[in-house]
Amino acid sequence: HFKKRRISIWMFPEGTRSRGRGLLPFKTGAFHAAIAAGVPIIPVCVSTTSNKINLNRLHNGLVIVEMLPPID
């Protein structure tokens, strides 16, 4: 359904936000959903936001996002 309508869904494989630096262990749900839907997984890098923005507020800082090539 989403693929036909060309709708993108952002899923974070850690399953939650990190309050520090580095990655948390990945959960598998986002990967299973992409495989089942037959859509590519496109890695996205988000700038380090530690100590720069308050995660519980909207419109309070600049975040740089870089999209990487799709994973087959």
What pLDDT, in 10s, does the model give residues 1-57?
677 888 888 888 888 777 667 788 999 998 898 888 888 898 888 876 566 666 667
Q: How confident is the model at residue 67 (pLDDT cuts 50, 70, 90)?
A: very high
Pair 13, 31: CB distance under 8 Å: yes
Question: CA 40 to CA 2: how far, in whole Å?
Answer: 12
pLDDT at 48: 63
Degrees (nearest 5) of the Cα angle 49, 27, 6? 80
Helices marked H in 1-72: 2-5, 29-37
- State residue 38's pLDDT score: 87
